[in-house]
Amino acid sequence: MDTIFALASAVGKAGVSVVRVSGPSAWDACSRLCGDVPAPRRSALRKLTDGAGQVLDEALVLTFEAGKSFTGEQVVEFHLHGSIAILRAVLRELAAMEGVRQAEPGEFTRRALEHDRLDLTQVEALADLIEAETESQRTQAMTIFAGALGQKVEIWREELIFAASLLEVTIDFADEEVPVDVSDDVRSALIEVKGELERELAGVDAAERIRSGFEVAIIGRPNVGKSTLLNALAGRDAAITSEHAGTTRDVIEVRMEIAGLPVTLLDTAGLREAADPVEKIGIQRARDRAELADLRVFLLEADETLDVFPREGDIVRRSKGDLSGDAQAISAATGQGIEALISEIGATLSERVQSSGLATRERHRIAFQEGADALKTALELLDFGPERYDIAAEEVRVAIRRLEALIGRVDVENLLDKIFSSFCLGK
């Protein structure tokens, strides 16, 4: 296996730049640059030199033994002064060494998976952790990266292996002194795991929303104050405001954090009968996005109605409270009621994620659903007695394989290139 290297910190000038090297020749590369290999897991100050003996930099060097590093291989980290020239020189020296090459995107993490340092759910969580923008996303990703989902899957897998073994003993040794009717023990194990899978399935949508974010659409008639409200919520002029009706022609999106959750606010075209063909397109887009949004904020003037009706959980507010004198209305111009609206949006979305589980991706949902379906079939087969135990055992094995694929033990090679392509070179 090649030894790989890459910049593990941000590209460009910095106080410190970190170059990571991993593989069987990592310590040889360290020795060639430093003159020796510092003691593992202890920082050491070393002068790095090129093949001609010219000093490239004075750096902190960290080494990690195989089996005790992130990748599971020998690893060296060079903490360099963050000069582009220094970095270029060190990378050039590494690239010139035999058996050492630049890493591909996500290759360090892929090696961690291959050496059983991480399971596949932890790999996905690491990508999410790097991308996390809000506290809820950080907390969710950190929980899964710590192994919470993989540990649950392992417990379920052991329960199912136990159930399958009971069925197979009955099948293989029916004429010997073994329990003939194991259905109660098997049924208990299958019901327990199936229930756990179904609880996780119920929380997938909420967990996925934490990971990818909610969409909140502001809808109403033209000139009701939607764009002004968007700007007030965003704290900046994200949308053009005008007294002329139909100013907003397309959906304007603003990404922000509310109650620790990632939220995309949508300012939509005013809903009305329009003659202008471009405005008609904008209005149709507004209707489409409003239909798909997780939450809609209806902004209305007094006694006004729309042909789009609030769903359960949507928020309705009267607009232009500064002009109407209505203390219950909001005014984006003066700030009246804005904080209360933000609090209500946050409370509504927070309530929706209370049921979130550990499964955060469509891949997880499919694995859990297929596993639960297989266990449901196995439970039905148990009712027919020992003559169907062989088929029931196969259904249990199907559920086991689905869980093993979830954590990356089997049948995931087609997923790996896609997953690791989202990582940077140094990860």
Q: Which residues of the chain have pLDDT under 50?
A: 239-249, 414
What pLDDT is stored for residue 147 in this prediction? 94
Could you give phi then psi for residue 196, rounded to 5 degrees? -65, -45
- The HSE-up count of residue 56 (CA atoms within 13 Å, CB side) is 28
What pLDDT is stored for residue 235 in this prediction? 72
* CA 405 to mean position of chain CA atoms: 18
What pLDDT is stored for residue 242 in this prediction? 39
Residue ranges with strand state E in 90-224: 100-102, 214-219
- Tell how strand 14-22 and strand 75-82 pair up: antiparallel
What pLDDT is stored for residue 113 in this prediction? 92
Residue 65 DSSP symbol: -
Residue 241 DSSP symbol: -
> Residues 18, 80: contact at Cβ < 8 Å?
yes
What pLDDT is stored for residue 300 in this prediction? 84
Residue 390 Cα distances to 157, 176, 187, angstroms: 19, 17, 15
What pLDDT is stored for residue 177 in this prediction? 54
User: Alpha-carbon distance 107 to 75, whole Å?
Assistant: 13
Name residues whose C-beta falls within 8 Å of residue 286's C-beta, 6 or more positions apart in sequence.
217, 219, 251, 268, 269, 270, 271
What pLDDT is stored for residue 246 in this prediction? 43
> Residues 141, 373: contact at Cβ < 8 Å?
no
User: Alpha-carbon distance 16 to 10, whole Å?
Assistant: 9
What pLDDT is stored for residue 330 in this prediction? 84
- Torsion angle of alpha carbons 239, 241, 246, 251, nearest 10°? 10
pTM assigned to the model:
0.79
What pLDDT is stored for residue 183 in this prediction? 78
Nearest residue to 370 (alpha-carbon basis) of 394, 410, 400, 393: 400
What pLDDT is stored for residue 166 in this prediction? 84
> Residues 403, 368: contact at Cβ < 8 Å?
no
